[in-house]
């Protein structure tokens, strides 16, 4: 490929889940975009598990779809097993998950990017970012092959590649992923610009040969029979339903793992980076939860009819023979053969408190970070950041307002707000418990919450937006009907026998609110136009009605938040001189330099009294400057 | 100060103590709506007008607040920039406190925290920016004072108790949250019904704690012990003797507009407000009548009364004394040989006979009085009481949700709400606190 122009509106470095969403967003918003990747065929490659979605992550994927991103569509097109998690619980915590065909997923993304107008792909390794002389405004990128590109916005989505170092037992070698080179130079040029950096660690389990497994000794795990798609625009959804298999480790497995710990870089101290607690290696689990005699393992196909399976639950950096010997004690895996062993990887990240809520760095104008470079883990977390970085990189060129989602609006809002107000010391993953307005942020109302915003941004398509608006109107109409339609007491008492009898007639809404009553139970009371609504929409409406009290309470909590949450803090504010504020708070504020009062109030160690004082001192300073 | 929420807040805005007139202020969007539920008057409340009337409500006794003046300031034309209502009432500490407690039960209202009215005035621009420093100093000072208070034993113990309660709640919440965030893993989760036991225990502790509030306030303000008796029964001599014996006088406050004198002393490490009252007797003189009235008021708000009898005087025991603990003292025993029966102490202020016994008696009464509470913890602040009442109600909501078999995410929402309320005392519980618990307690992660 030759370089057609040397200057672009936007350059994205990295073609992972963050980079793809960023590049697609900027090009769709009319910006000349260059995506620099070391290998075009690796666009959208899933480095770790062959799955998208899951608890809380499924919410992110739905939100990305509502805002015009690509991940949900790609998953619907290439998924080979779909499952709704937490189905036994309420809608707010249902979360879709899909096993994907990794090869098809990557091919879908390569194709989407290649056919996207305004997006060019260039195969090379970026080795340095360049800025103006003051180091305050980004100017472009240098590459390994000697090319130099100019741009107005630069989005870095380098994943685990920056000075990546793979560990397998006592062997360590430089790599970005297994079989791919690390990226060297970017970190150093960022340090030169004044950025702080750190090291994190993550890991992946072995990949094993299908024909070496005795599936008769495992438990089959299938997906849902009538699954829901991730994307609102997917119609006539009829995906495959391929199996995963469950088996378990035992005490003999653990004995072998314990015997190999002296060769584990995790326990010998060779690995310096901090790993995620929610995604521990098998050796970590065996040591920390020694009382557990067994751990579950999931054997997941990496693509349709794959000859290669992913051993979910067995992430490890033990020497290959320890991994293999211990795995061979597991039922069904007695003769297992590796395609490749599990490994751990250490990589550079940049503590995300150096970012604004737009994903732009505070230090260098026009420079954006998204994905694992910010210390997150997960495809979905990366894609969400990439999308927001792309949107804002484009808007900053236009001189438009920042696009920021509040914590009460989206999981994406929670994700980014958490990143920039906390200094994470372990890879950050989304959990539903991180969202204080969890009951408002359901996976099934993601489009109701965000499609309009996506449409106004220019990313969400008109058809999708109009479909969502129509459904919204139907929901409003149906909820009003539930609230205003009374049913006679004798009808109710005859119908729901297990419930306490009522003396007076009740609205449909009140009947739904009774414990244990679902919309299916009252179908006979509903007119055809309600029963004819799509089951997905009807369930959404019923959830809104049944838990109206809870939803209203959370809505009020959001409303009660002071308007001062939005108050902006000037960039140059001198926290250390604010004697009235506690010492601890001053230091934290100085380190994180929050953009708004709301974010200041969420920094640990900053008390409400400190925040009041901050407001006073800022108001005073602002008035002095303007007089 | 609680987090930045636009709540409607309420506080007594006149200095503490027994004053003739007290002002209680409500500020925020619910101010007018709230006062309209309590205030009965011939006129409707009009912005910037003082309206005379009475406070009537099922939670107030008939006639308690008959003469009130309510002034309504419509925001932004008020000192806080919000809708503001000032209620002026006649009466001492008891009535002020009563009104505050009743108002705090009104939906949506909470007790203002230190400096909060001033802060709101500042935010609304009602306080000049040139005074920003002064406002900052005020909040800083109050925050410091609160921290200093937190070191005193009373509040320190409270904090420990609240921390322990938070910990138990977080533990309950952790079980629910782990189930929500890690249900795809092989963890055995206990059913939410198992949480009813621990929650009920927390509720019982809260109930016991709320019952200590009366004593707590006394410990905070000083235990009030008036000396009551007929004129010339020797109350003032005894008053001086008790003061003279105790060197640890904290404050001295002479009644200027009333003929009671009060001084603070320390007994058994606790602050005592000793009150010398006007003599009780039937009278028709206007001036004397008002003195007697004030003595009766004192008895009303007393924690313990020293009832002084003496030879040749007739001390009728006022009806008000029926429920108040008392020590009966027969004074001036050096003047007579015959002693009436059924007195606790026989005393001579002149010779000092019986004084040691009286002191011992006082000491043990005070110790008994303060030796209540939950593990040495008593509630002493209205704001804390407000928090615990709301907390208790919220725990009831949690238990009901579990009984109604709501999904764990709804029960978790109820529990988080309860933790947030408790957090007004100890600071907020963050999602990271919960996740840390999950990671340390469960083997999660694939």
What is the distance between the alpha carbons of residues B323 and B302, in angstroms, rounded to a whole number? Answer: 10
Report chain A's mean pLDDT, rounded to a whole number. 92
Q: How many inter-chain contacts (A to B, CB under 8 Å) are there?
A: 143
What is the distance between the alpha carbons of residues B162 and B209, in angstroms, rounded to a whole number? Answer: 11
In contact, A330 and A276? CB cutoff 8 Å: no
Q: Is A312 on the interface with B (CB under 8 A)?
A: yes
- Please indicate whether residue A234 or residue B65 has the higher confidence score (pLDDT): A234
- Please indicate whether residue B50 or residue B147 has the higher confidence score (pLDDT): B50
Q: At what angle do helices A71-78 and A57-66 cross, to 10 degrees?
A: 110
Q: Is A583 on the interface with B (CB under 8 A)?
A: no
Task: Tell whether B271 is covered by a domain.
Answer: yes
B143 and B253 both lie in a single domain: no
DSSP class per residue in A175-213:
-SBTTB--B-SHHHHHHHTT---EEEEEEE--EEEGGG-
CATH code, B66: 3.30.1360.120
Structure tokens at B190: 């206990």
pLDDT digits (tens, 9 = 90+) for A451-475: 999 999 999 999 999 999 999 999 9
In this predicted structure, which of A95-109, B122-136, B149-163, B338-352 has the lowest mean pLDDT? B149-163
Q: What is the mean pLDDT of residues B72-80?
A: 89
Q: What is the mean pLDDT of residues B126-144?
A: 66
Structure tokens at A275: 């790993």
pLDDT digits (tens, 9 = 90+) for B311-345: 877 767 777 677 788 899 999 888 888 888 888 99
pLDDT above 90 coverage of chain A, percent: 77
Set of chain B residues whose Cβ sits within 8 Å of the Cβ of A52? none
| Bridge partner residues of B53 (DSSP) | B68
Q: Is B407 on the interface with A (CB under 8 A)?
A: yes
CATH code, B154: 1.20.120.430
pLDDT bracket for residue B247 (50, 70, 90): very low
pLDDT digits (tens, 9 = 90+) for B388-436: 999 999 999 999 999 988 888 999 999 999 998 988 877 777 777 777 7
- Please indicate whether residue B316 or residue A100 has the higher confidence score (pLDDT): A100
Res A382 pLDDT > 80: yes
Res B18 pLDDT > 70: no
B234 and B318 both lie in a single domain: yes
What is the distance between the alpha carbons of residues A122 and A369, in angstroms, rounded to a whole number? Answer: 19
pLDDT digits (tens, 9 = 90+) for A575-618: 988 877 888 889 899 989 999 999 998 888 888 778 888 888 88
pLDDT digits (tens, 9 = 90+) for B29-63: 999 999 998 898 888 899 999 899 988 887 777 77
Q: What is the mean pLDDT of residues A254-283?
A: 90
pLDDT digits (tens, 9 = 90+) for A141-188: 999 999 999 999 999 999 999 999 999 999 999 999 998 999 999 999
Neighbours of B132 (CB within 10 A): 21
Set of chain B residues whose Cβ sits within 8 Å of the Cβ of A548? none
B339 and B253 both lie in a single domain: yes
In contact, A163 and A190? CB cutoff 8 Å: no
Which range scores top for mean pLDDT: A481-490, A556-565, B75-84, B380-389? Answer: A481-490
Structure tokens at A423: 């200094």
pLDDT bracket for residue B257 (50, 70, 90): very low
DSSP class per residue in A288-314:
HTTT----EEEEEESSTT-SEEEEET-
Residues 96-115 of chain B with CB under 8 A from chain A are: 115
In this predicted structure, which of A135-139, A574-578, B141-145, B225-229 has the lowest mean pLDDT? B141-145
Res A620 pLDDT > 70: yes
Q: What is the mean pLDDT of residues B232-255?
A: 62
Residues 36-55 of chain A with CB under 8 A from chain B are: 49, 54-55
Res A449 pLDDT > 90: yes
CATH code, B287: 3.40.50.300
Task: Tell whether B439 is covered by a domain.
Answer: no
- Domain boundary, last residue among B369, B402, B418: B369
Q: Tell me, what's the pLDDT at B129?
A: 63
Q: Is B129 on the interface with A (CB under 8 A)?
A: yes
pLDDT bracket for residue B146 (50, 70, 90): low
Q: Is A608 on the interface with B (CB under 8 A)?
A: yes
Residues 305-324 of chain B with CB under 8 A from chain A are: none
Q: Is A286 on the interface with B (CB under 8 A)?
A: no
Residues 141-200 of chain B with CB under 8 A from chain A are: 143, 177, 179-186
Q: Tell me, what's the pLDDT at A595?
A: 92
Set of chain A residues whose Cβ sits within 8 Å of the Cβ of B408? 89-90, 93
pLDDT above 90 coverage of chain B, percent: 17
What is the distance between the alpha carbons of residues B181 and A96, in angstroms, rounded to a whole number? Answer: 13
Q: Is A313 on the interface with B (CB under 8 A)?
A: yes
- Output the CA torsion sign for A181, A184, A190, A196: positive
In angstroms, how far is the first alpha carbon of chain A from the final one?
58
B204 and B228 both lie in a single domain: no
Q: Tell me, what's the pLDDT at A275?
A: 84
B256 and B394 both lie in a single domain: no
Q: Is A539 on the interface with B (CB under 8 A)?
A: no
- Domain boundary, last residue among B346, B369, B392: B369
pLDDT digits (tens, 9 = 90+) for A6-40: 799 999 999 999 999 999 999 999 999 999 999 99
Task: Tell whether B432 is covered by a domain.
Answer: no
Task: Tell whether B415 is covered by a domain.
Answer: yes
Q: Best mutation site among B147, B148, B181 for testing chain A: the one with the most A CBs within 10 Å?
A: B181
Q: Tell me, what's the pLDDT at A270?
A: 87
Task: Tell whether B134 is covered by a domain.
Answer: no
Structure tokens at B216: 């707590």
ipTM for the complex shown: 0.86
- Please indicate whether residue B326 or residue B212 has the higher confidence score (pLDDT): B326
Helix ranges, A241-378 (H)? 251-259, 265-268, 282-288, 320-327
Q: Tell me, what's the pLDDT at B424?
A: 81
Q: Tell me, what's the pLDDT at B273?
A: 83
pLDDT above 70 coverage of chain A, percent: 97
Report chain B's mean pLDDT, rounded to a whole number. 78
- Please indicate whether residue B367 or residue B363 has the higher confidence score (pLDDT): B363
B315 and B332 both lie in a single domain: yes
Q: Tell me, what's the pLDDT at A507?
A: 94
B300 and B328 both lie in a single domain: yes
Residues 394-453 of chain A with CB under 8 A from chain B are: 422, 431-434, 436, 438-439
Q: Is B209 on the interface with A (CB under 8 A)?
A: no
| Bridge partner residues of B9 (DSSP) | B27, B110
pLDDT bracket for residue B1 (50, 70, 90): very low
B181 and B259 both lie in a single domain: no
Which range scores top for mean pLDDT: A68-77, B2-11, B354-363? Answer: A68-77
Q: Tell me, what's the pLDDT at B254?
A: 35
Set of chain B residues whose Cβ sits within 8 Å of the Cβ of A49? 446
Task: Tell whether B431 is covered by a domain.
Answer: no
B225 and B363 both lie in a single domain: yes
Task: Tell whether B437 is covered by a domain.
Answer: no
Q: Tell me, what's the pLDDT at B313?
A: 76
Q: What is the mean pLDDT of residues A332-361?
A: 96
B94 and B208 both lie in a single domain: no
Task: Tell whether B443 is covered by a domain.
Answer: no
Q: Tell me, what's the pLDDT at A155?
A: 98
Q: What is the mean pLDDT of residues A307-319?
A: 95
- Please indicate whether residue A381 or residue A613 has the higher confidence score (pLDDT): A381
B315 and B395 both lie in a single domain: no
* Domain count for chain B: 3
Q: Residue A244, SS3? A: strand
Q: Tell me, what's the pLDDT at B184?
A: 76
CB spacing of B129 vs A422 below 8 angstroms: no
Domain with B247 in it: 220-369
Q: Tell me, what's the pLDDT at A483?
A: 95
- Domain boundary, last residue among B95, B127, B159: B127
DSSP class per residue in A581-612:
S-HHHHHHHHHH--SBHHHHHTSTT--HHHHH
Residue B432 has φ and ψ, to the nearest 5°, of -65, -35
Res B2 pLDDT > 60: no
B228 and B348 both lie in a single domain: yes
CB spacing of B132 vs A97 below 8 angstroms: no
């Amino acid at each position: 490929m030759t370089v057609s122009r040397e200057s672009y509106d936007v350059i994205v470095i990295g073609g992972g889940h963050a980079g793809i969403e960023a590049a697609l967003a900027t090009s769709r918003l009319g910006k000349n975009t260059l995506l620099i990747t070391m290998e075009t065929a690796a666009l959208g490659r899933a480095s770790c598990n062959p799955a998208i979605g899951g608890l809380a992550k499924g919410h992110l994927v739905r939100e990305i779809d509502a805002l015009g991103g690509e991940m949900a569509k790609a998953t619907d097109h290439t998924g080979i097993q779909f499952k709704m998690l937490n189905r036994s619980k309420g809608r707010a915590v249902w979360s879709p998950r899909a096993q994907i065909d990794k090869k098809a997923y990557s091919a879908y993304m390569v194709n989407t990017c290649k056919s996207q107008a305004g997006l060019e792909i260039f195969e090379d390794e970026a080795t340095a970012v360049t800025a103006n002389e003051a180091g305050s405004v980004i100017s472009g990128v240098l590459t390994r092959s000697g090319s130099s590109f100019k741009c107005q916005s630069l989005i870095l989505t380098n994943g685990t590649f920056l000075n990546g170092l793979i560990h397998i037992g006592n062997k360590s070698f430089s790599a970005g992923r297994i079989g791919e080179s690390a990226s060297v130079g970017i970190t150093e040029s960022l340090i030169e610009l004044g950025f702080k950096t750190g090291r994190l660690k993550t890991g992946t389990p072995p990949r094993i040969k299908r024909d070496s497994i005795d599936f008769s000794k495992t438990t089959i795990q299938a997906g849902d029979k009538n699954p829901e798609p991730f994307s609102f625009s997917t119609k006539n959804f009829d995906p495959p339903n391929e199996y995963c298999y469950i088996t378990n480790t035992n005490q003999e497995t653990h004995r072998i793992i314990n015997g190999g710990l002296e060769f584990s870089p995790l326990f010998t101290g060779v690995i310096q980076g901090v790993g995620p607690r929610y995604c521990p290696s098998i050796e970590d689990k065996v040591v920390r939860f020694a009382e557990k005699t067994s751990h579950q393992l999931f054997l997941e196909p990496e693509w349709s009819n794959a000859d290669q399976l992913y051993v979910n639950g067995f992430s490890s950096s033990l020497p290959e023979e320890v991994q293999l010997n211990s795995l061979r004690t597991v039922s069904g895996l007695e003769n297992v053969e590796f395609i490749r062993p599990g490994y751990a990887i250490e990589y550079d990240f940049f503590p995300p408190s150096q970012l604004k809520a737009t994903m732009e760095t505070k230090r260098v104008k026009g420079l954006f970070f998204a994905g694992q470079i910010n210390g997150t883990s997960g495809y979905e977390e990366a894609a969400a950041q990439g999308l927001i970085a792309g949107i804002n990189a484009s808007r900053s060129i236009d001189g438009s307002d920042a696009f920021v989602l509040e914590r009460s609006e989206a999981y994406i809002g929670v994700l980014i707000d958490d990143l920039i107000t906390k200094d994470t010391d372990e890879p950050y993953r989304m959990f539903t418990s991180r969202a204080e307005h969890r009951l408002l942020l359901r996976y099934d109302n993601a489009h109701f919450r965000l499609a309009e915003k996506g449409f106004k941004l220019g990313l969400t398509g008109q058809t999708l937006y109009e479909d969502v608006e129509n459904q919204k109107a139907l929901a409003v109409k149906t909820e009003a009907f539930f609230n205003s339609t009374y049913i006679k007491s004798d009808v109710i008492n005859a119908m729901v026998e297990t419930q306490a009898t009522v003396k007076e007639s009740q609205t449909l809404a009140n009947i739904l609110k009774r414990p244990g009553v679902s919309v299916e139970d009252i179908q006979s009371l509903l007119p055809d136009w309600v029963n004819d609504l799509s089951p997905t929409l009807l369930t959404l409406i019923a959830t809104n009605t049944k838990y109206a009290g809870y939803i209203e309470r959370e809505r009020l909590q959001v409303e009660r938040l002071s308007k001062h949450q939005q108050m902006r803090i000037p960039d140059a504010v001198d926290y250390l001189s604010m004697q009235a504020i506690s010492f601890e708070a001053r230091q934290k504020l100085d380190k994180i330099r929050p953009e708004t009062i709301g974010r200041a109030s969420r920094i640990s160690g900053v008390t409400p009294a400190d925040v009041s004082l901050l407001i006073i001192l800022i108001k005073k300073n602002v008035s002095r400057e303007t007089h | 100060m609680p987090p930045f929420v636009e709540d409607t807040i309420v506080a007594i805005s006149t200095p503490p103590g027994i004053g003739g007139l007290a002002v209680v202020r409500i500020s925020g969007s619910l101010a007018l709506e709230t006062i309209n539920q309590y205030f009965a008057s011939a006129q409707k409340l009009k912005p910037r007008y003082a309206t005379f009337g009475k406070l009537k409500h099922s939670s107030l006794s008939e006639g308690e607040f008959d003469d009130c003046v309510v002034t309504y300031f419509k925001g932004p034309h008020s000192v806080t920039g919000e809708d503001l209502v000032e209620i002026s009432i006649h009466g001492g500490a008891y009535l002020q406190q009563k009104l505050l407690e009743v108002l705090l039960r009104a939906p949506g209202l909470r007790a203002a925290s230190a400096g909060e009215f001033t802060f709101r005035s500042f935010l609304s621009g009602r306080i000049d920016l040139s005074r920003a420093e002064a406002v900052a100093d005020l909040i800083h000072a109050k925050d410091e004072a609160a921290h200093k208070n937190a070191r005193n034993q009373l509040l320190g113990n409270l904090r420990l108790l609240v921390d322990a309660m938070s910990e138990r709640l977080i533990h309950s919440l952790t079980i629910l949250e782990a189930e929500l965030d890690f249900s795809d893993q092989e963890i055995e989760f206990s059913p939410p019904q198992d949480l009813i036991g621990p929650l009920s225990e927390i509720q019982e502790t809260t109930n016991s704690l709320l019952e200590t509030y009366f004593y707590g306030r006394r410990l905070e303000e000083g235990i009030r012990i008036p000396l009551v008796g007929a004129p010339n029964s020797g109350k003032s001599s005894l008053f001086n003797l008790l003061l003279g014996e105790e060197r640890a006088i904290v404050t001295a406050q002479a009644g200027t507009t009333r003929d009671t004198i009060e001084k603070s002393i320390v007994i058994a490490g606790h602050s005592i407000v000793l009150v010398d009252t006007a003599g009780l007797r039937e009278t028709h003189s206007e001036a004397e009548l008002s003195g007697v009235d004030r003595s009766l008021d004192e008895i009303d708000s007393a924690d313990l009364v020293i009832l002084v009898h003496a030879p040749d005087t007739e001390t009728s025991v006022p009806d008000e004394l029926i429920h108040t603990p008392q020590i009966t003292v027969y004074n001036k025993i050096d003047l007579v040989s015959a002693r009436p029966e059924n007195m606790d102490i026989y005393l001579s202020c002149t010779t000092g006979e019986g004084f040691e016994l009286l002191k011992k008696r006082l000491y043990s009464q005070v110790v008994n009085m303060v030796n209540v509470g939950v593990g040495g913890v008593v509630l002493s602040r209205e704001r804390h009481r407000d928090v615990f009442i709301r907390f208790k109600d919220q725990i009831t909501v949690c238990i009901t949700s579990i009984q109604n078999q709501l999904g764990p995410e709804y029960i978790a929402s109820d529990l988080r709400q309860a933790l947030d309320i408790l957090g007004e005392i100890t600071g907020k519980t963050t999602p990271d606190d919960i996740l840390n618990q999950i990671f340390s307690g469960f083997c999660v992660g694939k």
